[in-house]
Amino acid sequence: MSASPRSVARGANLLRAGKLVAFPTETVYGLGADATNDLAVAALFAAKGRPANNPLIVHLAHVADAKRLVRFDPLSQRAADTFWPGPLTLVLPLLADSGISRLVSPNRQTLAVRIPSHNLARELIETAGIPVAAPSANMSGRVSPTNADHVIADLNGRADAVIDAGACPCGLESTVFRSTGRGLELLRPGALSAEIIEERLGIKLVIDPSPTEVVSPGQMAVHYSPRSRVRMNAVSELDGEVLLGFGLHGPTGELNLSPKGDLNEAAARFYSLLRAADEFALRIGGATIAVSPIPESGLGKAINDRLRRASCQPLS
Ligand code: TXA
Ligand code: MG
The H-or-E segment that residue 161 falls in is strand 161-162
**Which ranges of the chain would DSSP assign to H, the alpha helix?**
5-16, 38-48, 63-67, 74-83, 119-128, 148-155, 194-201, 263-283, 300-312
Averaged pLDDT, 222-238: 86
**Nearest residue by C-alpha to atom 17 in ligand 1:** 218
Cβ contact 19:128 at 8 Å: no
pLDDT at 314: 45
Distance CA 192, CA 62 (A): 19
Distance CA 126, CA 202 (A): 32
Residue 224 banded pLDDT, cuts 50, 70, 90: low
Q: Where in the chain is the domain with CATH 3.90.870.10?
A: 5-207
**Of 251, 254, 252, whose CA–CA distance to 279 is shortest?**
254
Q: Is the pLDDT of residue 137 over 80?
A: yes
Distance CA 84, CA 88 (A): 7
pLDDT at 236: 86
Using a pLDDT cut of 70, give the percent of the chain over it. Answer: 93
pLDDT at 220: 56
> Measured from the CA of 138, which atom of ligand 1 is nearest?
14
Pairing of strands 110-114, 57-59: parallel
Cβ contact 185:205 at 8 Å: yes
Q: Is the pLDDT of residue 222 over 60?
A: no
Angle, helices 5-16/119-128, rounded to nearest 10 degrees: 50
pLDDT at 312: 76
pLDDT at 221: 54
Tell me which of 222 and 45 has the higher pLDDT. Answer: 45
- Model pLDDT for residues 267-280, shown as the tens digit of each residue: 999 999 999 999 99
**Of 110, 111, 121, whose CA–CA distance to 84 is shortest?**
121
Q: Ligand 1, residues 58, 107, 136: which to mutate, most atoms within 8 A of Cβ?
A: 136
- Model pLDDT for residues 37-88, shown as the tens digit of each residue: 999 999 999 999 999 999 999 999 999 999 999 999 999 999 999 999 999 9
Distance CA 264, CA 242 (A): 23
Angle, helices 263-283/300-312, rounded to nearest 10 degrees: 20
Distance CA 157, CA 308 (A): 31
Which phi and psi (to 5°) does residue 266 adopt? -60, -40
pLDDT at 261: 95
CA of 293 to the centre of ligand 1 (A): 27
Residue 237 banded pLDDT, cuts 50, 70, 90: confident
> Measured from the CA of 217, which atom of ligand 1 is nearest?
21
Averaged pLDDT, 131-158: 96
Q: What angle do CA 7, 276, 316 make, to 5 degrees?
A: 100
Q: What angle do CA 172, 115, 103 make, to 5 degrees?
A: 90
> Measured from the CA of 172, which atom of ligand 1 is nearest?
1
| CATH number, domain 5-207 | 3.90.870.10
Q: Is the pLDDT of residue 247 over 70?
A: yes
Residues with CB under 6 A from ligand 1: 25, 27-28, 30, 54-57, 89, 91, 105, 108, 110-112, 114, 134-136, 173-174, 176, 187-188, 215-218
Q: Is the pLDDT of residue 249 over 80?
A: no
Q: The pTM is what?
A: 0.93
Q: Ligand 1, residues 15, 216, 220, 271: which to mutate, most atoms within 8 A of Cβ?
A: 216
> Measured from the CA of 30, which atom of ligand 1 is nearest?
6
DSSP string for residues in 46-109 = HHHT--TTSPPEEE-SSHHHHHTTBPPPHHHHHHHHHH-SSSEEEEEEBPTT----TTTSTT-S
- Model pLDDT for residues 1-18, shown as the tens digit of each residue: 999 999 999 999 999 999
pLDDT at 315: 42
- Calculate the average pLDDT of the chain: 92
